[in-house]
Amino acid sequence: MKFILPLLFVSLSSLTPLMAQTSQQMSEAAATELEVSDKAMNEIYQKLLKILNDEGKKRLRETQRAWVIYRDAQAGFDSHHFAGGTAERLEQLGSLNLLTKERTARLKEDYQRFREMSE
């Protein structure tokens, strides 16, 4: 029993930073995660642009602009129930990240499809 209590204390104390995270720290971590997702999306977007003809490039740009408007509106909707609260920004960032990952997956599918068509 003498050894169990100190071990338990050490285990719990190592979790304290995770449990004591502030809303600001969580938002900063979520913003960093969104930056990573956004970078991945932009990389595949640029790869896709390189293999498209002029008409395809034009349409992809139009689609991407429309998607950005949709993404922002959806994230606003997803977080509106926390309006004015500390969780609003965190919810918005989470939504932006999810939507960005979904868009990245779609762009990857498009890249594969158009790459195969051009071979």
Domains assigned to the chain: 22-118 (1.20.1270.180)
Burial of 34 (0-12, 13-18, 19+ CB in 10 A): buried
- Cβ pair 108, 44 in contact under 8 A: yes
N-to-C CA span, the chain: 69
Alpha carbons 59 and 61: distance in angstroms, whole number: 5
The pLDDT of residue 52 is 96
pLDDT tens track for 6-59: 443 444 434 434 444 888 889 899 999 999 999 999 999 999 999 999 999 999
